[in-house]
Structure 1
Amino acid sequence: MSSFSHAGRIGAGLVLALIGLPAGVASADPGPSSVTLAAHEQPKPARPTLEAIKQRAARDGIPLEQAVKDYISTTAATRTVAASAQPDGPVDTPDVMVDDLHAGEIEDLTRIAAAEGIGLTAAIDGIAWQGQFEKVAAQLEAEFPADFAGAVKNDDSAWFAFKADVPAKAVELARTLPVRVDLVGDRGFSERELSAAAEAAHTAVLADPAVEDAATSYDVRTGTVIVETRSSAPLSAQDLLPRAALEAGMHIQVTQVDKVSQPEDKYIRGGGSLGSCTSGFNLKYIYSSTKRHATAGHCGQSAATRTYSNHSTKGGWTKVNRVWWHIGAWGDLSYYTVGSKSPTRTFYHDWNKTRYADDRSPMPSVGTRICHFGITSGGSCAKVARRDVSSGSMRHMVVMDKDISEPGDSGGPWYYGGMAYGIHFGLIGGKSSFTPAYLYQNRGYDVWHR
């Protein structure tokens, strides 16, 4: 499609315009109804098993990571697992809990800790509560759609904002989180309105004949619509936001870049090889038992038939046929038949390592840690930097805070623990990006999970 750039990376941008209200009227300033819940007054999780493992690690002089791994493997070896608990057979990640932490989540936390050099204890303290945070954010967005103005997770705090007063329900829900929580009122606009302003700006930019490609997102904390564009002439941001949006406290920033977006081309289960792409999760039709195999839309666009291959320890391959592909309002998605293999609710989270998908996430919040597997890069994790991003004709994309992917990773699974998040696209703004998996519901499908 003409809106895609198929080579290169995004270069450093030149900010062309930043338009908004004077600093004294900036919507990022806390409103009079703002509430802060101090960290020391928030509930803390009780993890007696983890504490015992920490004591053993200190006594034996071994890293906590090794002690936790030993506990999980020993516990798994001594337990009998009911067949109903593993409907598609055994996987490499055992169903062992360390207090409230599943072995799959601990595997991801260990990977994040190693990559960021923070240690497993710090990773657990800073990240393991994100599931609670996501539930609170989703509930607030669902119950107060006209007032919810965004949510951001930091390692040691959470931030929620509202167009007008902070609802009492928001304070009640925020009191369940184990960290400091800032609830900001009187923002002047909702996230829905900020998203609509970003969509209007994106449409206007793409209509300019000088524009070759563009990606548009927004920052809920500053109320800024961010447009990255590749164009043959400088653009003026003056008319991209209506006066009502500016008066509400929104801003717009237009940046000229070298490249905007880049797809990454190069039993059946998610994370296997599809030739020049990676396979995503298996899907189930909501109204019947029909199964399909997910991957990226541009992978489906480029090949009507592909060869699916398991990793080496599982072995085997099968031909799969494209059923549907899409690049547009529902992101970058496609699905294929499952060939001669039996579909499962499992996926590869690393080379030759399988895990069950246990749930499927809605649109993730900014600050959420999510991991990815690609047939070229392997497994790695990053943090959500932008959500509900428009890039070219694609909508509702999620962009991470760094590039952790390579050509050939397209279509691969994004996950955290057993939670399925999305299908890998490639790069937007030079950062790894994916399509949220919930968008398959527009076709009557959803991630097949336990």
Structure 2
Amino acid sequence: MTRSLLAVIAALVTLCACGGSGAGPASTVAGTETIVLPRADQPAAHRPTLERLKREAAESGRPLEEVVRRYATRMAATASSRPTDFEGYDPAATEPGVAIDGIPYAELVDLGTIARSEGISYEEALDRFGSQLSNQGVIDELNAEFPDEISGVRYVDDQRGLRVGFKGHIPARAIELTKTLPVEVTLIGGKGFSAAELRRAQDAVVARLRSRSEVATMTAHADEETGRVKVVVQPKVMPDDTEQFTRALRLPQPDNPYITVEVTVSAESVAPRLQ
């Protein structure tokens, strides 16, 4: 079954960075290459049924979310021999195969939840997040085809743009794949590290910290934009000299010079206490 859109959004929020979409020349480090695929040149999302339902909602004065629900209920009634006219019937829960324009109805229900949590309209949620399930297929393909080259994928511009980084040159196949997406795409090559290398560096640091008896709590985050493994450590006893404490941890340093480890010492707990 298709993963829940809420789970996809949660994952993407982790990847998302605030700021502009990177339209035009992107700000990158020396030695990188940048290719921008403008939104105007990308294919439009093909949603004829949802566009018709939008017009129906506007003409009837009913909320689009309600119109979508009624349409899904009618679809479920024709596709299933089970009763669908009882109070509280929810095709998202009862008929998981119901989809509108290729988007599972359960994901369209999730969009309503996202709209309320973000304080935006259902229409805006559909515009911003409605393509992310299909986009995820391309992202998965990029990760599968370039496991040692891709250095990270993140949404920008309120989920309306995508940034894709590569350790070396931008592969022609990556350009071909991302040209199919209905969002602006910025591809950045020459970053010097891959996401896989960054994860291995983070794992090595975490393993080392878990073995140190002087560490009470810690967190680690791999920043795919900068190539930094950012670590926050809470000592069991706060030292007078935090720099000396950090050196004494003897954290493993990455072999790749484009990956760095950044340590912050905190007097406060930053995670559940290590056993």
Same fold (TM over 0.5): yes
Residue 129 (structure 2) pairs with residue 127 (structure 1): yes
TM-score normalised by the chain length of structure 1:
0.47
Match 1:176 to one of 180, 187, 193 = 180
Cα separation, 1, equivalents of 2:165 and 2:67: 40
The 5-angstrom pairing of residues 234-249 of structure 1 reads 234=239, 235-236=242-243, 237=246, 240=251, 242=253, 244-245=255-256, 247-249=257-259
- Cα distance in 2 between the residues matched to 1:200 and 1:140: 25
CA deviation vs aligned residue, 1:353-396 (integer Å, no higher than 9, x gap)? xxxxxxxxxxxxxxxxxxxxxxxxxxxxxxxxxxxxxx959xxx
- SS in structure 2 opposite 1:92? helix
1:230 aligns with 2:230: no
Amino acid at match of 2:161: S
Does the CA-based 8 Å contact 2:208-2:252 persist in structure 1? Answer: no
| Kept after mapping to 1: 8 A contact 2:92/2:105 | no
1:80-99 superposed matches below 5 A: 80=80, 92-94=93-95, 95-99=97-101
- 1:40, distance to aligned residue in structure 2 (A): 0.7
Q: 8 Å contact 2:218–2:231 — kept in the other structure? A: yes
Contact kept in structure 2, 1:229 and 1:255, CA below 8 Å? yes
Q: Verify: 1:254 aligned to 2:264, yes or no.
A: yes
Distance 1:165 1:392, change over 3 A: farther
Shift of 1:213: 2.5
Superposed CA RMSD:
2.7
Higher helix share: 2
1:38 positional shift: 0.5
Name the SS of the counterpart of 1:118 in structure 2: coil
SS at match of 1:112: helix
Q: Is the 8 A contact 1:36 1:183 kept in 2?
A: yes
**Structure 1 match to 2:74:** 74
> Contact 2:166–2:189 at 8 Å: present in 1 too?
yes
Q: Structure 1 CA distance, aligned partners of 2:72 and 2:48?
A: 15
Does the CA contact (< 8 Å) of 1:140 and 1:148 recur in 2?
yes
Tell me how far apart the structure 2 counterparts of residues 241 and 195 of structure 1 sit (CA, whole Å).
13
Q: Which residue number corresponds to residue 56 of structure 1?
A: 56
| Matched residue type, 1:233 | M
Contact 1:38 1:181 in 2 (8 A): yes
Please list every run of 5 or more consecutive structure 2 residues that lacks an aligned counterpart in the other structure. 1-26, 83-90
Q: Aligned runs of 1:121-200 on 2, under 5 Å?
A: 121-154=123-156, 155-200=159-204
Residue 159 of structure 1: how far off its partner (Å): 1.2
**The residue matched to 2:33 in structure 1 has which SS?**
coil
Greater strand proportion: 1
CA contact 1:130–1:153 (8 Å) conserved in 2? no
Q: 8 Å contact 2:193–2:258 — kept in the other structure?
A: yes
Does residue 41 of structure 1 match 2:41? yes
Contact preservation (8 Å) 2:34, 2:188 = yes
1:259-312 deviations in Å (ceiling 9; x for gaps): 3435xxxxxxxxxxxxxxxxxxxxxxxxxxxxxxxxxxxxxxxxxxxxxxxxxx
Contact 1:33 1:184 in 2 (8 A): yes
In structure 2, what residue type is equivalent to 1:125? D
Matched to 2:77, the amino acid is A
Letter in structure 2 aligned against 1:184: I
**Amino acid in the other structure paired with 1:151:** V
Tell me: CA distance 1:215–1:179, structure 2 relative to 1, closer, same or farther (3 Å).
Answer: same
Q: Alignment length, in residue pairs?
A: 231
Identity across the alignment (%): 32
CA distance change for structure 1 residues 61 and 227 in 2, over 3 Å: closer, same or farther? same
The one of 198, 216, 223 equivalent to 2:220 is 216
Following TM superposition, by how much is the alpha carbon of 1:243 offset from its aligned partner in structure 2, in angstroms? 6.7
